[in-house]
């Protein structure tokens, strides 16, 4: 099933150069040494969560599948590599026929993860797997960071709708990915039309302060907007005087006015005053939307305010202070020889400063307590214990080079809501703390 099969209107271009120079030079050296064909296992994981975070959110898996499927070296790309002498001719000939033919397993998108979780496992020859490192990490690190921030904000919002509106605060292409990750994490809509077009995310928007300033008076601006968009529109009421603007808005639109938006000031105080004024004017069903540099802490502080929806921009698309998930892509096992049936041997980097890795092809399972609540992330090598067999987390994403687990974004969104609900209650606390689940490592014998 391809992108078009899901009704998505934009194809993904070749991703072959979304990589680092040294991936290709490693390939060249391995081809010359005769080791590029050795069966290898790479794993994506993070050694730690961002400071104070209780859980991570797997975001970007669907985009990774698109990227792997479209990792092709066409004539123009090969010409560029030849002209710049990045690699030699034998390597260019190998790249011309490149198609990832291995297997990919991973946590399904929307699932939560913890330090050491084998979020994605890529298996195949060294040559075909090593080339995917940069593009996989760039997608997972960005999207998982945004999804985690969105999840925290959704928890803080307590069921109130969240609008993603950060396109003007990040790279134009990153904005589309950020909208997708935000929707995955619990946001309900986006202001970014490219994200709506690409991923079928609901889009919303009405007017900015410039529209009010364009007109001779605020009344003229409101009248023009209501005439064009109807009484159910959202009027921005903080360009001049909020109290006067709310009065004018109700006079023009009547009690059928859809919403008012507040974008500045003491949002807690202003929201209470606006709610009281709307009720006194008979606009009891008119909703209040607040924006203005919100993050999860600001949203939580407004929990008792008469706010109906939040619009979030800068803090969301920058991961609310943590713009990366710090994931790495490490070789954890490789064949002893280039023979097809050669056994795998665990390999691991040994380093100081906390940058160690654990060798071996891993599985992961989530253990539940007597009440059905998650209590530990269990990561192991070797056979999976019977007691955990039904709780395994990794699913097959790519088999023999073919994507086998593409799914609608709403499925990943629903999965995240369920996964978060299955965590201990402390997972949604915004105060600093350790990961809500410990990671336990087990080794059950041969099984790399």
Alpha helix (H) residue ranges in 186-239 = 193-199, 209-214, 218-229
Which of these, 26, 107, 6, 150, lies nearest to 66 by C-alpha position? 6
* Phi, psi of 288, deg, nearest 5: -115, 125
Tokens at 274, concatenated: 């606006």
Rounded to an integer, what distance in angstroms lies between the CA atom of residue 233 and that of residue 251? Answer: 14
Per-residue pLDDT of the chain in tens (448 residues, 90 and over written 9):
444 445 444 455 689 999 999 999 999 999 999 999 999 999 999 999 999 899 999 999 999 999 999 999 999 999 999 999 999 999 999 999 999 999 999 999 999 999 999 999 999 999 999 999 999 999 999 999 999 999 999 999 999 999 999 999 999 999 999 999 999 999 999 999 999 999 999 999 999 999 999 999 999 999 999 999 999 999 999 999 999 999 999 999 999 999 999 999 999 999 999 999 999 999 999 999 999 999 999 999 999 999 999 999 999 999 999 999 999 999 999 998 888 889 999 999 887 666 778 899 999 999 999 999 999 999 999 999 999 999 999 999 999 999 999 999 999 999 999 999 999 999 999 988 899 999 999 987 655 5
Rounded to an integer, what distance in angstroms lies between the CA atom of residue 32 and that of residue 91? Answer: 9
Rounded to an integer, what distance in angstroms lies between the CA atom of residue 108 and that of residue 57? Answer: 10
Q: What are the DSSP calls for 379-416, one per residue?
A: EEESSPPGGGGGGB--EEEEETTEE-----HHHHHHHH
pLDDT digits (tens, 9 = 90+) for 294-316: 999 999 999 999 999 999 999 99
Nearest-Å Rg of the Cα atoms of the chain is: 25
Which of these, 104, 64, 96, lies nearest to 401 by C-alpha position? 104
Beta bridge partners of 333: 41, 346
Q: Crossing angle for the helix pair 242-253 and 267-280, nearest 10 degrees?
A: 40
CB-count exposure of residue 276 (10 Å: 0-12, 13-18, 19+): exposed
pTM passes above 0.75: yes
Which of these, 128, 185, 197, 126, lies nearest to 315 by C-alpha position? 185
Rounded to an integer, what distance in angstroms lies between the CA atom of residue 374 and that of residue 114? Answer: 12
User: Would you state the pLDDT for residue 152?
Assistant: 97
What three-state secondary structure class fits 312? strand
């Amino acid at each position: 099933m391809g992108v078009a099969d899901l009704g998505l209107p934009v194809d993904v271009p070749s991703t072959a150069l979304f990589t680092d120079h040294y991936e290709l030079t490693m390939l060249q050296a391995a081809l010359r040494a005769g080791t590029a064909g050795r069966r290898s296992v790479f794993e994506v994981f993070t050694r730690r969560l961002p400071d104070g975070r209780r859980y991570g959110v797997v975001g970007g898996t669907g985009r990774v599948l698109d990227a792997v499927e479209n990792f092709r070296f066409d004539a123009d790309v090969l010409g560029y590599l030849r002209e710049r002498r990045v690699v030699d001719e034998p390597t260019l000939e190998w790249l011309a026929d490149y198609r990832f033919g291995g297997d990919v397993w991973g946590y399904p998108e929307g699932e939560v993860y913890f330090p050491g979780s084998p979020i994605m496992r890529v298996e195949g020859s060294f040559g075909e797997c090593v080339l995917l490192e940069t593009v996989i990490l760039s997608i997972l690190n960005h999207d998982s960071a945004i999804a985690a921030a969105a999840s925290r904000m959704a928890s803080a919002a307590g069921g109130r709708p969240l609008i993603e509106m950060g396109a003007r605060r990040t790279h134009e292409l990153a904005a589309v990915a950020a909208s997708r990750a935000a929707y995955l994490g619990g946001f309900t809509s986006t202001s970014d039309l490219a994200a709506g077009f690409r991923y079928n995310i609901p889009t919303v928007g009405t007017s900015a302060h410039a529209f009010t300033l364009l007109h001779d008076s605020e009344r003229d601006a409101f009248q023009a907007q209501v005439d064009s968009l109807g009484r159910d529109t959202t009027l921005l009421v903080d360009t001049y005087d909020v109290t006067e603007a709310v009065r004018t808005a109700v006079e023009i639109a009547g009690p059928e006015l859809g919403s008012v938006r507040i974008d500045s000031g003491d949002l807690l105080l202003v929201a209470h005053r606006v709610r009281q004024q709307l009720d006194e004017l008979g606009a009891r069903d008119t909703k209040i939307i607040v924006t203005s540099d919100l993050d999860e802490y600001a949203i939580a502080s407004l929990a008792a305010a008469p706010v109906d929806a939040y619009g979030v921009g800068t803090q969301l698309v920058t991961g609310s202070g943590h713009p990366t998930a710090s994931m790495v892509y490490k070789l954890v096992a490789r064949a002893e020889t280039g023979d097809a049936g050669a056994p795998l041997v665990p390999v691991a980097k040994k380093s100081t400063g906390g940058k160690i890795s654990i060798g071996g092809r891993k599985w992961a399972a989530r253990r539940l307590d007597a009440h059905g609540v998650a209590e530990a992330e269990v990561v192991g090598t070797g056979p999976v214990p019977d007691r955990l067999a039904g709780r395994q987390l990794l699913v097959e994403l790519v088999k023999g080079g073919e994507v086998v687990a593409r799914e609608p974004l709403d499925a990943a969104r629903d999965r995240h809501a369920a996964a978060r609900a299955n965590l201990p209650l402390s997972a949604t606390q915004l105060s600093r703390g350790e990961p809500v689940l410990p990671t336990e490592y087990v080794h059950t014998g041969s099984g790399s």
